[in-house]
Chain A
Amino acid sequence: MPLPRRYALTLALVAGGVLVWLALAAWVLWHDLSAAEQDALGAMLEPRAPLVLLAATGLVFVIGVLLKRWFAAYPATALRLSEQVRDIHAVGAETRIEPQGGPEMRQLAAAVNALAVVHRTLRRSVEARVEESNARLVQQKNRLAALMSQLAQSVLVCNAEGRILLYNARATELLAGGVVDGVAGAPVGLGRSIFGILDRSLVLHALERLHDRMARQQADPVAQFVTARAGLLLRGQMAPVLDASNALSGFVLVLDDITRTVEAGSRRDFLLQQLTEHTRASLGNIRAAVETVQQYPDMDVERRGRFTEVIRDEAERLSLRLDETLARHPESLRAPWPLEDMLAADLLAALQRNLASTVGTIVERAEAVPGLWLSVDSYSLVQALSHVVAQLASRFGTQALSIDVAQEGRLARLSLRWTGPPVDPALVHEWEAKPFAVGAHGQAPTLRDVLHRHGAELWCRGEDGATGPRADDPEALPAPQRNRLCVELPVTQPQQMAAPVHAARSSRPVYYDFDLFSQPGQTPEVDETPLVELAYTVFDTETTGLSPSEGDEIISIGAVRIVNGRLLENERYEQLVDPRRPVRRQAQEVHGLTDAELAGQPGIEAVLPVFHRFAEDTVLVAHNAAFDMRFLQLKEAQTGVRFIQPVLDTLLLSALAHPGHSDADHRLEGIAARLGVPVVGRHTALGDAMVTAEVFLKLIPLLAERGIRTLREAREASQKTLYAKLEY
């Protein structure tokens, strides 16, 4: 109740009460008097009635004045005080209450002022501390960014699920999706899965080793691998990122392009080996001839002549070979295929796991010699041996085998043993020479390549005393026997890898988003994820016309990504497509693309797979998405690419956020104008995708006000809106 009304009411009550009380007292007094006294008093008062009335009025006036002063000193002051306290709280800083009203109120004001001073000091120190730590954080981020951009290596930081949280420009360069037939692809991006970029089993294999090493509490757990990707040979080093409880919360991946060094190294290695072998052979021949001549000094002249001819011939070949080799001597230093030190027991375990999961073989594993270290590229070696076992399984039906490793001096002999028909060495040679698939990204190496890298030898024979196919009767059916496939490779001593030092490069931006560390990932829970936390691909297409069912085609696709509520301007996709049919005139007036501009661009069957990879693991967003999705869906059969991720439509979302507007207001320009999004580059696919993305970002909080927060809520509400019934 406002103060004046409360005052009037209180005044009426108090004044009325006093008057009624006086009237009551007068009435009691009156009835207490005898009749004679009443008459006497009546005669006395009657002529003075105006005076009594005046006294009553005066009383009311006095009460009114006193009450007013009290109101001013207490309730009104208290009200003002509370407003001022609210000001102090809201505005905070400098406002003070001026002492007023009754003395108690003045004391109260002074107490509040004292409190305000303390409050202000406290607040200032908190603000200062927040500012300080923010500044420190920014500084650290910048330092990290500067450091990363200076690295000559490609660096990717991923969370435990393999989503990219941070990468540098080198990583984008190195892993750019391989430009195939002029189609661009940019698969490195925040929130993307590393598994879409590198071979999944390779990364998992490295992660597994990282886990093993951490479980063994190794001081510096790092796993290495080598992989071929788009014609490049990459060396990867993986190190763990630990959380507060020392559990693995992610990993850092450092990639190096070692294509050229390894090529040069292999060349030199080959030359060196050839030279050694030829030298040994020639020297052997010379030495044998010389020793023979020395041992038989009295041999006849003709025979002696043949021996000296051998010596001359071999000496000549030797010098020729030496000249040749020196002339072709490569400049580069020798860089062997990078191998990693690994316990033999771990290699056996990895082999056992891989055989069980890929070939389905029952593997009995013997305990390895403790402390036996090997220098291996464990991924290739395990893959190669699994390939051999797969061949055994398909050819001889081998389903169970045992594996063990034994030390033979400076060599380790890894054996696979099984019972079955004997294996012809020619068949083993065939397996050695045949490439085995190592993943989608590179040329497949052969078993021989892998063995060569390890300086290893492989053979297969029956166990002691058993017979093979009879050489005198090759047609006879071979009896099953205990077979043993051996791989022998050098033993090593473990050593720590020194971190390489690299020269500085020109500064380039580094892209990071550590909030992705808490990203739930690609699971059914995605539906319950708040819209702000999801990763989106916002896209738009331009077409030859409006009727996909009548043969209209996509001529341009543009897309941008939104991760954790940020529009990532650097991660964009733009591609023109040759529609292989003329563009309709009305459509050409909208987007301005001519047949001549489109001729020679890649076809849709080359473009969609790349766009599909760009949009992998994200929610698709488009304005009037039904139209664009229809074009994509009609191409499913032709391209073999399906877009099955959730789709949101800014047209429908806008209708949900602003239900009062007419249909025309939900066109992209209308929404953009209403939400204050500048419209730039309209009617190019990328331009429209950008505007749509900004509109979408502004719609998210508006939807939240209407209780639409998660992806599921957005999808369900969209379906209910009128526009969802539109069909193209």
Chain B
Amino acid sequence: MKTILIADDEPNIVISLEFLLEQDGYRVAVARDGNEALEAISKQVPDLVLLDVMLPHLSGFDVCQRIRQNPAWQRIRIIMLTAKGREVEMSKGYALGADAYITKPFSTKELLAQIRAQLAA
């Protein structure tokens, strides 16, 4: 069973994502800020992280960079979720090691398809 970490501080999106992913047969962990996300990863390395950019304390970009700096965490797939729709931010996300970058609002079908594609790759 694949593990997915949701790093988002908004309960209103977490509730949907958690339910959908569980229904799709993933094991789901939730972190409410950047530090919590890194802690969760070091406890149990997930297969994929759904990473919100605007996290309290440590931003999504910073978390992404930390993950990519650790050789043991290289196979984690990172999908960044954000309400910031600017192209330059998307580019920054890819430059810092994200595998996909999805702007809110998004279609849940497409998100699930993206997650499947990332885990299959």
Contacts and interface: CB of A to CB of B under 8 A. Distances in A.
Interface of A: 276-278, 280-281, 283-289, 291-292, 295-296, 303, 306-307, 310, 313-314, 408-411, 413, 422, 425-426, 455-457, 459, 461-462, 467-472, 486, 488-490
Contacts of A490: 87-88
Nearest to A292: B16
Q: Most A CB atoms within 10 A — which of B10, B16, B65?
A: B16
A455 B67 CA distance: 26
A461 B16 contact: no
Contact of A471 (B15, B42, B85, B106): B42
Contacts of B16: 285, 288-289, 291-292, 307, 310
B96 interface: yes
B17 interface: yes
A471 B69 contact: yes
B103 interface: yes
A280 B20 contact: no
A288 B13 contact: yes
Contact of A457 (B65, B92, B104): B92
A489 B88 contact: yes
Interface in B29-80: 38, 42, 54, 61-62, 65-73
Nearest to A454: B88
Given A314-B12, A425-B61, 13 more contacts: A280-B85, A280-B105, A284-B104, A285-B12, A288-B105, A291-B107, A295-B23, A457-B89, A457-B91, A459-B92, A471-B69, A490-B87, A490-B88
Q: What interface size band does chain B fall in?
A: 35 or more
Contacts of A410: 87
* Interface residues of chain B: helix, strand, loop or mixed (majority): helix
Given A411-B87, A472-B72, A283 B109 contact: no
B43 to A, nearest CB: 12
Nearest to A410: B87
Nearest to A306: B15
Contacts of B15: 289, 306-307, 310
9 contacts: A277-B85, A288-B106, A289-B16, A291-B16, A413-B95, A426-B62, A457-B88, A461-B68, A472-B72
A533 to B, nearest CB: 55
Contact of B88 (A281, A455, A470, A471): A455
Contact of A286 (B83, B96, B105): B105
Nearest to B103: A280
Given A307-B15, A425-B62, A467-B71, A287 B107 contact: yes
Contact of B86 (A307, A422, A455): A455
Contacts of B38: 471
Contacts of B109: 291
A284 B69 CA distance: 30
Nearest to A478: B69
B88 A289 contact: no
A586 B68 CA distance: 83
B26 interface: no
Nearest to A278: B83
B91 A291 contact: no
A472 B41 CA distance: 11
Contact of A469 (B67, B69, B91): B69
Contact of A284 (B89, B96, B106): B106
Nearest to A279: B83
A423 to B, nearest CB: 11
A283 B105 contact: yes
Contact of B108 (A287, A306, A462, A471): A287
Contacts of A455: 86, 88
A411 B88 CA distance: 7
B7 to A, nearest CB: 15
A471 B10 contact: no
Given A284-B106, A461-B65, A470-B70, A456 B42 contact: no
Nearest to B89: A457
Contacts of B106: 284, 287-288
A461 B107 CA distance: 32
A472 B20 CA distance: 32
Contacts of B54: 277
Given A280-B104, A284-B13, A459-B65, A471 B83 contact: no
A281 B69 contact: no
A460 to B, nearest CB: 9
A120 B54 CA distance: 91
Contacts of B95: 413, 459, 461, 486, 488
Contacts of A468: 65, 69
Nearest to A303: B19
A291 B113 CA distance: 14
